Amino acid sequence: MDLSSHLKQPKSLVINSVGEMYICNTLSHSIEKYNPFNESVSTIVENLNFPQNIALDQSGNIFITDSFSKSIKKFDIKNQTISTVISGLNFPTGIAVDKDENIFFADAENHEIKKFNLKTKITTTLVNKGLSYPHGLFLDTLGNLYIADTFNDEIKKLNLSTNQITTLSIEGLSFPESIFVYNSEVYVTDTDNACLKKYDETSRKTDIVLDKNLKKPSALFIDKKGVLYLADKELNQIFKINIKP
């Protein structure tokens, strides 16, 4: 899928319930929508300020970490309107949203992971030590939050029930930016090593999934069919890989 003419440093991508892809286009300060059925690309959010990551809620609304405006924004997919949900942050990057309307986000230049509840408007700091410019987040169905601790070259796992944080023994990472957990395997963009890695939490084995034709892999998403989509922010491309046996 050649989307290079529409992309300017893609840093995040997600797929909605009907199979449409949203792409965080950082250097064009916008969010694009790719329709796989007619292969069209359209801009649905403009005038952002160096957006970093996007996540969807249960209704398909898009939450955006808009780093240079130091805020998190919400794009209402039904009304096609945008609003600021949280402001006063310090270069927000990774983001995840759960079914209870909690927004988990990385406040990167504060080296913290925080939670904001949309109902109560209360912000809670979950992790405030041991991190260095965290980027990508992934929330699994068991209540674990995976953190790309980018400048420490590590992936950390936070148990949201016990607040216990552990470091996964993934070999040889350099500037990991994005994480996705699929079938108990942790997929990581090993950005500065120009490859995609996979880590089995049971065997603690690290494998390289892809290390050819990449320069700066920056974002990934795996759909329900086991198809992995990988964005490269330097090539301005998105690759499609079938990982399901």
DSSP 106-139: EEGGGTEEEEEETTT--EEEEE-SS-SS---EEE
DSSP 7: -
Mean pLDDT, to the nearest integer, of 111-125?
A: 98
- Does the predicted TM-score (pTM) go above 0.95? yes
Q: Model confidence over 22-46: pLDDT tens digits? A: 999 999 999 999 999 999 999 999 9
pLDDT at 2: 81
Give the contacts of 183 (CB within 8 A, at least 6 positions apart).
none
The share of the chain scoring above pLDDT 70, in percent, equals: 99
Mean pLDDT, to the nearest integer, of 115-142?
A: 97
Give the contacts of 80 (CB within 8 A, at least 6 positions apart).
44
